[in-house]
Amino acid sequence: MVFELDAFLNIKGLDLNGGTVIGTSAQFSFDALPPGLTFGFSSSLSSDLSNLALTYTLSNSTTAKIFPEVTFFSFLDGDIADFDIREIFETLTPQELLEISLNDFAEASGILGSGASDSDPDSWEIDEPEFLFGDIFNNLLLGALDNSNAIPISFPEDASLALGFNLGDLNPFETATIDVFLSESGNSIGNFFLTQRDLNPNSFTSITMSGQSSVKQNPIPPIPEPPTWLLLTAGLAALKLSWQLKMDSTNPTL
């Protein structure tokens, strides 16, 4: 059960949220991106409905502007519930709903990336989604996850997950691609992932969050060749001029 799935973007030196909240990061569901930065998104769900692949692209469409030290963040606030979701509205009491939200825990596994030179996530955070005590949302807006787990198995609570990808400077005609992979089958991409589980021993569901990023140079569009009619017109004009000069040379004016 997903309560929130969002993305954030931080660019050094730019206030992307208008100063109305803490930090300078843009929250994709609320804030516009700066001029010259083109955004794309696509998603794909596996046939067994257990894997969701999200692909984000950020392209520098300017000819001279550099977007410095770009960092992309993916945020997931989900709860594990092994029952028909309709029961939430039909049979569960407020206390039962609260208990479902407060008995999750999570863990981090693998090796983090080391900056824009590789494809793996460079930062992460597991925390309560700031309804009670967490600071994960503030950290996303500030553009700096704290690489810590506030919801281990010894302290089950309402859990949320975040991954950060350092993309470096995004130069003109470059495109950054970020793939975020969410799985209920334990699948992941790359060398680092977060896993959320339910403390209930009868629950066998888990949520795995992983991702990879890359930055590539777009092909620079070639200078278009003049259309055929323009070449023909220019050729006829040159021919006329040549003929006129020839006539003038054979018939000089006294």
For residue 127, count other CB atoms closer than 10 A to its CB: 25
- d(C-alpha 28, C-alpha 83), whole Å: 31
Give Cα 212 distance to the centre of its chain: 10
pLDDT tens for residues 12-22? 999 999 877 89
- pLDDT confidence of 250, banded at 50, 70, 90? low
- List phi, psi (to 5°) of 43: -140, 155
Give the pLDDT confidence of 64-89 residue by residue, as tens digits: 999 999 999 999 998 886 554 445 55
Per-residue H/E/C for 116-144: CCCCCCCEEEEECCCCCCCCHHHHHHHCC
Residues 6+ apart with CB under 8 A from 27: 6, 7, 8, 17, 140, 141
* Cα-Cα-Cα-Cα dihedral sign, residues 133, 136, 140, 142: positive
CA atoms lying within 13 Å on the CB side of residue 109: 14
Residue 221 confidence (pLDDT) above 70: no
pTM given for the model: 0.82
Domain coordinates in residue numbering, the chain = 2-217
What average pLDDT is seen over the chain? 86
- Report pLDDT digits (tens) over 7-53: 999 999 999 998 778 999 999 999 999 999 999 999 999 999 999 99
